Amino acid sequence: MSRYKRVFDLLHVYDKQGRHELFERMAARGWELSGGGRFTWKFRRAEPSRARYASAYFKRASEFAPPDSDELAFRELCERTGWEFVCSRGQMQVFVNREAEPLPLDTDPQLEFALTDGLARRNAIFSAVMLAVSLLLLWYTLGRALDDRLGALVSMDTLVLPLLVLGVALCCLGDLICWALWRRRARAAAERGEFYAARRIARINAAIPLPLTALLALSALGWLLWGGSGTESIRVVVSVIAVFAAGAAGTAVSSRLRAAEASRGKNIALSAITVFAVCAAVSLIGVLLTWREDDASAAPLTINSLTGDDYAYAVYIESRGSPFAELYSYEERYVPFGDACPEPAPGEDVSARLRYSVYRARIPSAYPKLREGVLWEHQGHTEPCGAAPFGAEEAWYIEKSYPGVEQAWILCYGGSVVYLEYNRALTAENCAAIAAAFGGESV
């Protein structure tokens, strides 16, 4: 049986009573508080006891420095009334008292309210800033999704990011509302000379991030199931992991250095170096995960399958998707640098360039949206052309819609829409190859 146990602490800074109840409940079950992390409390096995816990905020305490003489004097003063210091987390100092009816650590409700409110207000300012940033991001991500509806339909990022940002904004708003409610009631209670136990508000406040966590988990699952090989998605996940890993490593280093009584400057410097190093390491892993030689062997259509040569061109493949539709993008061309394309022999023609995007509907109702979306992107440049050679249901020819693109086609195959650019004249064999690649039958 493990001798130590860690318990997550989602309680708000003003929910002192909730925190004390947690410690007392754990002590009654035989788990004695032994330390505090940034988001957790550490308990060790002990005889079940009916100890009383209390916490106080010591303004000058720092998580990067060992306790100074003032902090030690404060603890000594508390010990004088039976409150033994247990552990600290930032400014919060936790004490235990084993007497049946001890004199409380805080006996002045107005002073206690003022001190707690000072800390809670700092959190509220952070929530307000986060709310403003989230609303800006929401405006940006929604605007992007509305501007590029086709992209939004085939991307988990564009679908999920506004939801996540909205979730963060709602969490921050909930945090601010709970703080304002607590503040109003706690101040009124303090003016009456009473301590305010904000259990219901605090419980709601603690529960607010849970739906966001569930949304994050669902989004991660969605990315895994439908996201394709989207490097953007992997980058988002790697960034989130980097933030958490760096935060955890920084906290661990800082608490160890604090325990070893290292100076504040040394602690901050080493913690910052750790945070940067972990961020860099996780980012490097992310780069290695997303960086790969694209393998053209699984591509439905290549320049080789159209021209019959076996000349190696550089290939770029990207696939992404959502529960509604998926996108497979392929680009192949000569790149005059790097290892992807060998140096052409004198007189060898390496000017072929093939690019296509296959939008495939995952649910039938997505197909008309995909068709409309692709046609809308090229509106004004399309003219209907014969679909039969491509084995498609409908086909459009596009001439010079973008600089550098001489000709392109939009081909509709019932369940999928293909946008194809090829800078050479298409032969009947080419059309048959295209039909075979995208599920049609050339006529």
Which residues in this chain contact another protein in the complex, by CB under 8 A? 54, 56, 58-59, 69, 72-74, 76-78, 80-81, 83, 103-108, 110-112, 114-115, 117
Using the minimum distance from each CB to another protein, give the nearer residue, 108 or 393: 108
Using the minimum distance from each CB to another protein, give the nearer residue, 102 or 300: 102
Beta strand 407-412 with 394-399: parallel, antiparallel or unpaired? antiparallel
Neighbours of 123 (CB within 10 A): 15
At its nearest, how many Å lie between another protein and the CB of residue 186? Answer: 12
The token pair that represents 99 in the structure block: 């007497």
By the 8 A CB rule, do 373 and 390 touch? no
By the 8 A CB rule, do 171 and 215 touch? no
Give CA separation, 42 vs 34, 106, 180, 252, 363, in Å. Answer: 6, 24, 30, 13, 49
By the 8 A CB rule, do 46 and 28 touch? no
Using the minimum distance from each CB to another protein, give the nearer residue, 19 or 333: 19
The token pair that represents 328 in the structure block: 């497979």
Return the closest-CA partner of residue 19 out of 213, 198, 254.
198
By the 8 A CB rule, do 32 and 81 touch? no
At its nearest, how many Å lie between another protein and the CB of residue 164? Answer: 37
Cα-based angle 107, 111, 112 (whole degrees, multiple of 5): 65
Using the minimum distance from each CB to another protein, give the nearer residue, 112 or 326: 112
Using the minimum distance from each CB to another protein, give the nearer residue, 105 or 354: 105
Using the minimum distance from each CB to another protein, give the nearer residue, 78 or 156: 78
Spell out the residues 6+ positions from residue 248 whose beta carbon is closer than 8 angstroms to its own. none
Using the minimum distance from each CB to another protein, give the nearer residue, 95 or 390: 95
Neighbours of 56 (CB within 10 A): 21
H or E segment to which residue 20 belongs? helix 16-28
At its nearest, how many Å lie between another protein and the CB of residue 247? Answer: 30
Using the minimum distance from each CB to another protein, give the nearer residue, 108 or 348: 108
Give CA separation, 247 vs 12, 64, 208, 209, 244, in Å. Answer: 19, 14, 22, 18, 5
Using the minimum distance from each CB to another protein, give the nearer residue, 68 or 372: 68
Would you call 237 helix, strand, or coil by DSSP? helix
Could you tell me the strand order of the sheet in which 31-36 lies?
4-8, 40-45, 31-36
Give the Cα separation of 86 and 105 in Å (integer): 14
At its nearest, how many Å lie between another protein and the CB of residue 130? Answer: 25
